[in-house]
């Protein structure tokens, strides 16, 4: 591993912090994510000094998400900003791939594979279909609470291909579906929370939490290595 790789995370963090000081920080952050050397950045998390200081905490905040992907927290890169990897190893179960919004916006770059992003909106009694609406609040007991019934209609469906960077506001109601080219891997920069809860829209009254199983530090490192291998293979 080169010195450049071991410093890649430090450089990335500084670039993000500098961008947050600008008035057009959202577009600047998209440029940073689009331009970042993914191989160097992921290699940095395999460096012993970074593993000691960051990956133990990152592993604790990582888990298999019930929407069908591995949600790996890499590190905080600025106050309330978090860098993550999302890895879909196979198709999510249809009944568990929830429509939802987010507490904060995020910027994502697809490292491998492609995604279908479906966006939805509320509609009248004669359009769309009914969903069970839940409120999800991290740290609450219980974390997921049934709210009522809402009718939603699909408004747009977009295919997002490999090496594409995109921005998703927290106000957008959406569902993300990986295509059949697995694994699908994305690098995600999550912004600060703008609200305390997110909303979930399901086909059933299932009230499970967003997390569905953690994994140990060895598995955590192996998933980062897997993402790095695919990033290297794509160049």
* Structural domains present in the chain: 3-233 (2.60.120.10)
Report pLDDT for 38.
94
Rg (CA), the chain: 18
In whole angstroms, what is the distance from residue 113 CA to residue 10 CA? Answer: 27
Q: What is the mean pLDDT of residues 87-114?
A: 89
In whole angstroms, what is the distance from residue 17 CA to residue 91 CA? Answer: 35
Report pLDDT for 212.
58
Query: Where residue 66 falls among pLDDT bands split at 50, 70, 90?
Result: confident
Report pLDDT for 4.
52
In whole angstroms, what is the distance from residue 100 CA to residue 15 CA? Answer: 30
What is the residue-averaged pLDDT of the chain? 89
Report pLDDT for 104.
95
pLDDT at 225 over 90: yes
In whole angstroms, what is the distance from residue 51 CA to residue 11 CA? Answer: 17
Q: What is the mean pLDDT of residues 184-212?
A: 86
Query: Where residue 58 falls among pLDDT bands split at 50, 70, 90?
Result: confident
Q: What is the mean pLDDT of residues 32-41?
A: 94
- H or E element that contains 209: none
Phi, psi for 66 (deg, rounded to 5): -65, -10
Report pLDDT for 1.
46
In whole angstroms, what is the distance from residue 101 CA to residue 92 CA? Answer: 18
Query: Where residue 152 falls among pLDDT bands split at 50, 70, 90?
Result: very high
Q: What is the mean pLDDT of residues 101-111?
A: 96
Q: What is the mean pLDDT of residues 74-83?
A: 92
Q: What is the mean pLDDT of residues 133-153?
A: 93
Query: Where residue 34 falls among pLDDT bands split at 50, 70, 90?
Result: very high
Q: What is the mean pLDDT of residues 170-190?
A: 95
pLDDT at 232 over 90: no
Structure pTM? 0.91
**Which region among 11-15, 18-22, 36-40, 203-207 has the lowest average model confidence (pLDDT)?**
203-207
For residue 221, the number of C-alpha atoms closer than 13 Å in the C-beta half-sphere is 13
Report pLDDT for 129.
94
- H or E element that contains 147: strand 144-160
In whole angstroms, what is the distance from residue 170 CA to residue 191 CA? Answer: 9
What SS3 class is residue 222?
A: helix
Pair 92, 143: CB distance under 8 Å? no
Report pLDDT for 199.
96
Tell me the two tokens of residue 65. Answer: 């998400």
Q: What are the angstrom distances between the C-alpha of 204 and each of 70, 98, 178, 201, 207?
A: 23, 10, 22, 9, 9
Phi, psi for 199 (deg, rounded to 5): -110, 140
């Amino acid at each position: 591993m080169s010195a450049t790789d071991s410093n890649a995370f430090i450089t990335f963090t500084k670039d993000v912090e500098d961008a947050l000081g600008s008035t057009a920080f959202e577009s600047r952050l998209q440029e940073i994510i689009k331009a970042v050397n993914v191989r160097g950045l992921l290699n940095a998390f395999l460096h012993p000094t970074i593993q000691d200081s960051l990956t133990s905490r990152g592993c604790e905040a990582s888990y298999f998400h019930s929407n069908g992907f591995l949600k790996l927290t890499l590190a905080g890169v600025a106050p309330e900003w978090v860098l993550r990897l999302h890895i879909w190893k196979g198709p999510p179960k249809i009944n568990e791939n929830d429509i939802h919004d987010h507490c904060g916006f995020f910027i994502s770059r697809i490292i491998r594979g492609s995604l279908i992003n479906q966006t939805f909106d509320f509609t009248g009694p004669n359009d769309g279909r009914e969903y069970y609406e839940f409120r999800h609040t991290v740290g609450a007991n219980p974390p997921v609470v049934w709210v009522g019934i809402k009718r939603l209609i699909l408004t747009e469906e977009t295919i997002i291909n490999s090496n594409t960077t995109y921005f998703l506001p927290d106000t957008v109601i959406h569902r993300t579906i990986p295509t059949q080219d697995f694994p699908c891997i994305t690098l995600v920069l999550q912004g600060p929370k703008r609200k305390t809860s997110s909303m979930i829209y399901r086909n059933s009254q299932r009230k499970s939490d967003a997390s569905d199983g953690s994994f140990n530090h060895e598995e955590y490192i192996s998933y980062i290595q897997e993402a790095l291998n695919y990033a290297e293979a794509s160049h």
